[in-house]
Every structure is written in structure tokens, then in C-alpha cells.
Amino acid sequence: MHDDRSLVESRLKRVLEERIRPALYPESVPLEVSIWTAPGEPVPVAEGLAAPRTPIAVGDAWGAPWGTSWITVTGTVPEAWAGRTVEALIDLGFDANMPGFQCEGLVYRPDGSPVKGLNPQNQWVRIATPAAGGEQVVLHVEAAANPVILDYHPFLPTELGDRDTAGDRPQYKLTRMDLAVFDETVWQLVMDLEVLGELMAELPVDGARRWDVLRAIERALDAVDLQDVNGTAAAAREQLAAVLAAPAVPSAHRISAVGHAHIDSAWLWPLRETVRKVARTTANMTALLEDEPDFVYTMSQAQQYAWIKEHRPEVYARVKKAVAEGRFVPAGGMWVESDTNMPASEAMARQFVHGKRFFLEEFGVENQEAWLPDTFGFTGGLPQIIRNAGSKWLLTQKISWSQVNTFPHHTFLWEGIDGTRIFTHFPPVDTYNCSMKGKEIAHAARNFKDKGVARHSIAPTGWGDGGGGTTREMIAKAARLRDLEGSATVRWERPAEFFEQAQAEYPNPPVWVGELYLELHRATLTSQARTKQGNRRSENLLREAELWCATAALRTGLAYPYQELDRIWKTVLLHQFHDILPGSSIAWVHREAEATYATLAGELETLIDRAQRALAGDAAGGRELVFNGAPHTRSAAPAGGAALASAARADGCAITARDGGGFVLGNGLLSVTVDGDGLVVSVVDLATGRETVAPGTRANLLQLHPDFPNMWDAWDVDQFYRNTVTDLTGVDALTVALDAPEAVAVRVARSFGSSTVVQTLTLRAGAGRLDIDTEVDWHETEKFLKAAFPLDVHTERYAAETQFGHLYRPTHTNTSWEAAKFEACNHRFVHLEEPGWGVALVTASTYGHDVTRTVRAADGGTTTTVRFSLLRAPRFPDPLTDQGLHRFRHALVPGAGIADAVREGYLISLPERRVTGSAEAVRPLVELDQDALVVSAVKLADDGSGDVIVRVYEADGGRARGRLATSFPLAGAVPCDLLERPWDGTRGSVVVSGDGVELALRPFELVTLRLTAASG
């Protein structure tokens, strides 16, 4: 037979596009349209409904960037349409390719009840089926003129990302505002032809099925009268019925479709717009659930439920009803889909605490999957946190975005730093915005790496990023793909149903140990430094606030600020969303984040101050108490307690001028030599005589790179950035900043480009570390600033702190997997060691770093260079990213073992506080006699019982036994999960004895204890 395949395929494309789709709405009449534009920010629904309208016509421009217009459409269903299906078509000026990235609307009835959302892929509103002739139609649309930030030519700097700079030029033109007859038969024909046409394109050309489908399509097209599509659509469908009825082969891949809208809690829109995005999408999805009995919809991020509960109660009522019916499924169990690289231990734990608790309290639902489709890499600390939250599964597709290496599994056990294993699935469809296209379904089946031993995968289905969700077209296509020869099978299922089936069919999946590193978006560890510092500061202040408020509550009866802490935690958790903390949002988001963090800091400082004053007693007592919020003793103040400030001043520091320029600083522990350029040429650990700085190199060297990635400016740094570097060695001034027995310091000032930097290097009495405070007035564009420490250490691996422990990464680039990790995350420290001697670099400020190694020609020794990433200056999406003043604190700790790195990391992050009072001392609520056991949190139980919650983890990566002693009479201690519920999942040994608990923990194990004080 002659091969006319391409002829039929081209015919399908043209007839579908030019004749059949246009016949979906065979008749229409224009609606009358009027508009009111809110003068500033969005107004309450009642106000928008009541505001006076002025007429507007199709073709007219509307919508200044970020503005809100209330558009009213009115009309009458023509008598001739009685008995037919009538819809309103509302095209606000949509570009069909940009759902979620454009203008959007939420449709209301005159009584204020929501109907559904409008977006570029969802422009219809059902009026009636069957319609009554003469029916009056009145609808109101709350239309948001969200500007397009990410355009066809992407990543171009734009002023549109902040209301303050966006101007007032209208962004959209009303395109179609009609009442129309909807021809359901034509719509079904379109669905048939799309499914079969897309399937056909994926089938092997030498297989019979492809030709069966081709001939059926040809017969269907023959049956269509191009001058009467509506009259012949049914006949065309008959020609397709047989190929649509052919069942899938038994070995077909099985896809669990999950209705979904990935909604970024902020990104190319501000937080306040996400509130409305969620309302639009959930209004749409609850409407769709009513129309489609098989459909199941999943939404993650408790914060988004909380938003609509507060701001759109009429939509929330519908959500609550659908959740109760089991068809709207809360997923993820986290407050937001956060970044996981940067949040500290407690914050990562609290994401689950607050997320799961919200779902439990609002819906009585506890889901068991962590749902993080879009997060930029996953730390080795996460599995244990997921398990301690009472969950057991993880879903993400993001690792498929890795630039270099292809991950070997789609379903596997992911093992974290402590040995916890989590059953993990990467949807092979490689998107969280599946739209049921044949190409996507076929890709999922082909791409699935676990064929032969497993058959199931998941497909999050619906428009996402900016919301939108699943469409009726996706549901129609899924119905045809339920059991179709040549395709994977598709069923609407809840995430838990998928995971249970996947786990049952795959009892021994492969294991991946350690972090799930995303080989992309590495610059998100550095971009928007002030947002990142706000997060760190908030995390540290929350630790202190909980500790001191709990201590004051037990000791003095001061009321514990449950509600304030709950609210502040949720705000901090929200800002860990995977486009806020990573620094990849528009300017508006980061401007607001900085202001919010400043407010939170003030509130937390007040809480801390009030608790410490209560503990210190009457200020007239005149005693200066040193409060130590760190988990290690210092300045004679116990961890988590306070001691009188010592009268004896520590001393022993000295600074002398160096021959040839520069200074030598000493404190009896370290001898530090700064050369005439203000660079550190030597740091000797006097206890061992060991030199820290590699011969022939200089440490604390600031280095400037050009930084213009090929895509994703705020997200990405591409490896070639290293090809060009400028060492900032020019000095404006090098002076002694401090010369006292208790501390000595030098200050070095430099200027480069349009920027200046002042660094202060300080050596304190009794401290085995060199503190480096950096103040940069940064006015560069597309540059990357690093601080380099070339160390005389030979090692194949180094440690970087993560949640509840640390993980190791290689210092070499043997394979593509190691080479791809050219920028990585640290929490408070990076640590390198040779047997018997190590060095730590600690930080209170930054997350990104890189480690490289070279071998020196002169002596054959190895130089391992650690560089902290300080600042970037991308221009998209915020054209002025990181401009202005920044302060950083780092320190070099020679001779540090891993325990020293842990301790110094805490000490640099949690400065001591001095309060005048009458108390002799403040005993900590709990004390540990073993340094490897570190207190992560001390707080009162969230249930208001007055019980003390203490979270402890093994921090060194070994086994540790120790006693946690309480300074209050102890009635009982119960191991708990993160939600403070009694839990038998604790693996270590926890034995109550007297007023204390004997603990024996395994490497990196965390334990949450609920301690009940004896009454009286």
C-alpha cells in the first residue's frame, strides 16, 4: 500500500485547527461589558461588586500592571437557544500559552458566590444546559492585570516586577465577551481526535496500531462535512469508536493522574496575588469536581488553605466540603513547598509540624507523602525529618532538571545521613504541569527507569506555577486513556493510592544514599542575600525566644507566647518557599520579605528581652548576667542558661606591625599574619604548630567573577564563571581597629568597580578562631563575589552542615557527578581534616560555597580551597538584585575537629546577651553532659499543657550516650514525633532516671522528648 501517512497527519492538523475547533461555539451574541478599576490594591469582594461601572468594549485596553478591575458582563440568552448548552466566553486578552503568567479572573454571581476562575486555558463559564430562552445573565469578574514577567524572550530585565516601578500602561485588551452555544458533540470529537492524533504520533511506524489509528482518523475526516461540522460530528465520532475501544496491552505502564495546580506561593507575583491565585484555582477545581465524578484533585501547602480560609471564605467552604468527600486531597504535609537546602534543622521540622497540624485540625486528614515537585535539591537531613513527622513517602520531579547527569531511578529508597530510608518517586513524565498530551504520556512510559520490576508512576496533571489547575479537556483525555491500546493507562488517584500500589509492586527498590543534588539553580544559595539573612536571623531568634520564654514560664510563671510564636513561625516558614528564600522572585517579593523579617526581628527581640528580664530579676540588683542561648557552654554561662558576667577580663591578645607591611595578631592560641595587602598569609595553630594557610597563597582573598548564566539569571551560575576572575587585592586602608588585651583587630578597606568593602579581622582572647566581618556596599551588575581560603589540607572529602548533622562531598571531580557539584550548600560550617588535624570555616551569614583542590609544584602538598559565596548581581527577575549594603560574618577555626565545627557554628550564630538583674544565675531547664548531643530546641508543648519539649540530636556523626538532666522535678519523659505526639519510632535508647533522661543515640539521630514536670 502507498505510504500516505504524512498526508493524513497534515490533514488532521489543518481540519482540526481551521474547521472543527471553530465549530465548538457555532452561534454567539455579544455581552454588554462594564468595568470599575480599583484605585490601588485589591478590594474586598463586596466592595468590588458594589462599585460603580463604566462601559467598556471588546478591543478596549484595560489593566495597569498589578491593578484589579471589576468587570461586569450582562446579556440575555436568545429565545432560539432554548434547550441548548450555553456558555459565556470571557477572553480578557489571554495568550493561551501563558496560563498562570498573565491576567486572570475570578467569576462571581451577583450574590457574591464564586463560580470559577478564568485563565488563558479556561475562558468559559457554563450558563445553563439546557438553557431557557430569555434567561438573563449577570456575571462579575474580579480581573487581575498581572503583567507578563517571563516572556517569549525570557530572562530580560523588567521594571514590571514591582508595583512601585511598573508604571500604569494598560497590559491587556478585552478580546471576546460573548454568550455562545456550546456544541458538546464537536467538543467530544475534538477530544477524540486530539487523543488519537497525539497517540498516533508516538507509536512505532512499523506497528499495526499506528496504521489502524491513521485509517480511523482518515475515515472520520471523510465523514466531516466541512460546511456542516456540527451536523456531521457525530458521524465522524462513530468512525473513531473502534480504535478508542481497543484496550491497552497487559504490560502497559500505569499512570496515576493526580489533579494538581502547582502554585508558587510567590514568584513572578507578590504574596498577596497568590492568595487570589489560590482562590481562582480552587474555585475552578471544586467546580470541576462537581462535574466530573472520577476526578481527584490534590493541593499541597497548608499556607494556601489558610489564605483562602481567611480571605475567601466562600471558596474555602467549597474546598472543605470537597475534602470531606475525599476528592480534594491535602498533600505534602508542609506549611509551604519550601526550599530544603537552606532551612535550618528546626525550621525544616516545623514545616511539617505546622503543615500536618493544619490538615489535621481543619480536615482530620494526615497525609504521609512529602510533596515537593519543584524544590531545588534535597538535603541528606530530610529523610529523617520526614520520618519523624510521621510521613513515609516523597515525591519530586525536579531532579529531572539536572543539566549533566541523569538520575538512575524513578522509584527508589532515599537514604539520609542518619540511615533513614524514604520511599521516593520521581514522576517520569518529568513535569508537574502534565496536560494529558500524548507526548507526555508516552514520555512517562518510555522514560520510566524501573521497567521490568515496576509499572506505576504518577502524573501531576494541571496548569501550574501560577495556578490554573486541571481542565475539562485534560479530564476528557484521561478518560480516553483509561484503557487504550498503544498508550499507558491513566487513572485519577490520590497520592497515597499511588504510593501504596507502587510500594506493593516494588518491595526491594534500589537505594540512593545522601543528598539529591540538583545540577541546576546553584546560585539560589546566594541570590538576594538580605532575604537569606532575614531567614537565618529569624531562625536564630526563634530558637532563643522559645528557649527563654519556656525557661521564664517554668521559673517565673511568665505567660508563654503561644500565639505570637505560632504566627511568627508560620511567617518564617512561608518565606522559605522555594522562590522566596532562594532569591528567585520579583523585586516586590524581596522588598516585602526584608520588611517582614525586620518586623519579626523586633517582635522576637521583645519576647526574648521580656523573658530574660523576668529571669534576671529586678534590674536594681545591679548584677550583669550573661545569657547563652547556644547549646554549648561559654563565658562560664551554661548552655541555655545564664551566669554572672565574669569580673576577671580575659586577656592575652597582642598585635604588632609586620616587617614589610601588615600586622601579626596573636592570642596565645592562634598567630595570624596579615600582609600589607590586608590578606591573611599565615594562621598558625599554636597548640600544634600547624600552619593553616597553604604555602604561597593568601586567605580571605575576595574574588570577583563575571556571572551571566545562559538562562535563569537569579537561579543559575554556570560553570564557565570560573574561567575569569579578578583578585581584589588593592587596598584603600589597612589599620588597627582594636588593640586591647581581650581582642585585637585589623580593618582593611578596598574598592572595586562601583563598590567598596570593609573587612574587620578579629582575634579574641580565649577564642580559637579568627572572626571576619565583611561589610560590602555592592553596586555591581552580573558579578559573583567570593571569599577564598586556600588551606594546607590534603583530603578527598569535606563536611558541610545540613539539618541535624552534616554530609560529605568530594573535593575532587573524578566523575561528572562530582564535577557538577561546583556550588553547594552549607548551614553553619564547612569542615576539612587530615587524621588528627582539621580546620573549620563557620558562618552566620551565607549558604553557598565551593571547594576545589590543587597540588603544589613546589612541595607536592595539596591546597584545598574553600570559597564562601557572598553576593551576586543578576538582573532577572529583580533588575536590582542585591544592590546596596550587606554585612557578613565568617570565621576560620584552625585545629577544629567536627565537634569544634558544630560548636563554633552555633556560637557565631547565637551571640550572648547581657541583662542586668538581681539573680545569681539562671539554671538551664535541661543540661546535657555529652558534647556530641546537641539541643536543637527547648520550648513549651504546642498543646498548652505546660510540658517541656526538648529536641536533641547527635551532631558529630558517631554514637553518643549522655544524660539530659532537668533542673525541675521530672514526672515523666516520653519520646515524641515532631508534632509532639507520643511516638515509638525513636530508635535510640531513652530511659528516664531521676530528674533526667539517659540517652543513647546513633549517628545523627534526633529525638524529641516531652518532659512533664512533677506538680508541686
> Are 434 and 440 spatial neighbours (Cβ–Cβ below 8 Å)?
yes
> Are 177 and 58 spatial neighbours (Cβ–Cβ below 8 Å)?
yes
Q: How far apart are CA 622 and CA 590, in angstroms?
A: 43
Minimal distance, residue 237 CB to Zn ion, in Å: 39
Minimal distance, residue 822 CB to Zn ion, in Å: 24
At 350, phi and psi to the nearest 5?
Answer: -70, -25
Q: What is the DSSP string of 849-864?
A: EEEEEEE-TTT-PEEE
Minimal distance, residue 577 CB to Zn ion, in Å: 8
Which region, judged by CB under 5 A, interacts with Zn ion, from 96-104, 374-382, 555-563, 940-948? Answer: 374-382
Which region, judged by CB under 5 A, interacts with Zn ion, from 23-31, 368-376, 763-771, 796-804? Answer: 368-376
Q: Of 374 and 519, which has the nearer Cβ to Zn ion?
A: 374
Minimal distance, residue 465 CB to Zn ion, in Å: 6
Minimal distance, residue 250 CB to Zn ion, in Å: 37
Q: Of 142 and 374, which has the nearer Cβ to Zn ion?
A: 374
Cell numbers given for 315: 471558596
Minimal distance, residue 582 CB to Zn ion, in Å: 10
Residues within window 224-283 making contact with Zn ion, judged by CB under 5 A = 264
Q: How far apart are CA 916 and CA 932, in angstroms?
A: 32
Q: Of 264 and 546, which has the nearer Cβ to Zn ion?
A: 264
Minimal distance, residue 578 CB to Zn ion, in Å: 6
Strand order in the sheet with 623-628: 913-917, 623-628, 641-644, 921-922
> Are 372 and 391 spatial neighbours (Cβ–Cβ below 8 Å)?
no
Q: What is the DSSP string of 64-80?
A: -TT-EEEEEEEEE--GG
Q: Of 384 and 433, which has the nearer Cβ to Zn ion?
A: 433
Neighbours of 993 (CB within 10 A): 11
Task: Tell me the number of residues near Zn ion by CB under 5 A.
Answer: 2
Residue 339 as a binder of Zn ion (CB under 5 A): the answer is no
Q: Of 264 and 773, which has the nearer Cβ to Zn ion?
A: 264
> Are 895 and 832 spatial neighbours (Cβ–Cβ below 8 Å)?
no
Minimal distance, residue 467 CB to Zn ion, in Å: 11
Minimal distance, residue 397 CB to Zn ion, in Å: 11
Q: How many residues does the chain have?
A: 1016
Q: Of 267 and 663, which has the nearer Cβ to Zn ion?
A: 267
Q: Of 264 and 440, which has the nearer Cβ to Zn ion?
A: 264
Q: Of 374 and 1005, which has the nearer Cβ to Zn ion?
A: 374
Would you state the torsion angle of the CA atoms of residues 444, 446, 447, 453, taken in this order, to the nearest 10 degrees? 100
Amino acid at 317: A
Q: Of 430 and 675, which has the nearer Cβ to Zn ion?
A: 430
Q: How far apart are CA 13 and CA 84, in angstroms?
A: 29
Q: How far apart are CA 872 and CA 892, in angstroms?
A: 23
Cell numbers given for 272: 498577596
Taking CB positions, which residue lies at the least distance from Zn ion? 374
Q: How far apart are CA 458 and CA 496, in angstroms?
A: 11
Q: How far apart are CA 551 and CA 924, in angstroms?
A: 7
Catalytic residue positions, numbered:
374
How would you write 431-497 as a 3-class SS string? CCCECCCHHHHHHHHHHCCCECCECEEEEEECECEECCECCHHHHHHHHHCCCCCCCCEEEECCHHH
CA distances from 371 to 117, 284, 335, 337, 344 (A): 24, 22, 11, 7, 19
Minimal distance, residue 709 CB to Zn ion, in Å: 19
Site for Zn ion (CB under 5 A): which residue of 194, 374, 947, 954? 374
Which region, judged by CB under 5 A, interacts with Zn ion, from 133-141, 373-381, 682-690, 702-710? Answer: 373-381
Cell numbers given for 302: 497548608
Q: Of 554 and 589, which has the nearer Cβ to Zn ion?
A: 589
**Cβ-count burial 65-75 (b if 16+ within 10 Å, e if not):** bbbbbbbbbeb
Is 622 buried (19+), middle (13-18) or exposed (0-12) by CB count in 10 A? exposed
870 closest CA partner among 737, 701, 989, 999: 701
> Are 140 and 176 spatial neighbours (Cβ–Cβ below 8 Å)?
no
Which region, judged by CB under 5 A, interacts with Zn ion, from 362-370, 371-379, 679-687, 811-819? Answer: 371-379
Which region, judged by CB under 5 A, interacts with Zn ion, from 367-375, 642-650, 794-802, 836-844? Answer: 367-375
Which residue carries 554514637 as its cell? 959
Q: Of 178 and 264, which has the nearer Cβ to Zn ion?
A: 264
Which parts of 56-151 are beta strand (E)? 61-62, 68-76, 86-91, 104-108, 114-118, 124-128, 136-144
539 closest CA partner among 570, 567, 571, 572: 572
Minimal distance, residue 1013 CB to Zn ion, in Å: 44
Q: Of 371 and 1004, which has the nearer Cβ to Zn ion?
A: 371
Minimal distance, residue 374 CB to Zn ion, in Å: 3
* Cα angle for residues 553, 545, 629 (degrees, 5° grid): 100
Q: Which residues bind Zn ion (CB under 5 A)?
A: 264, 374
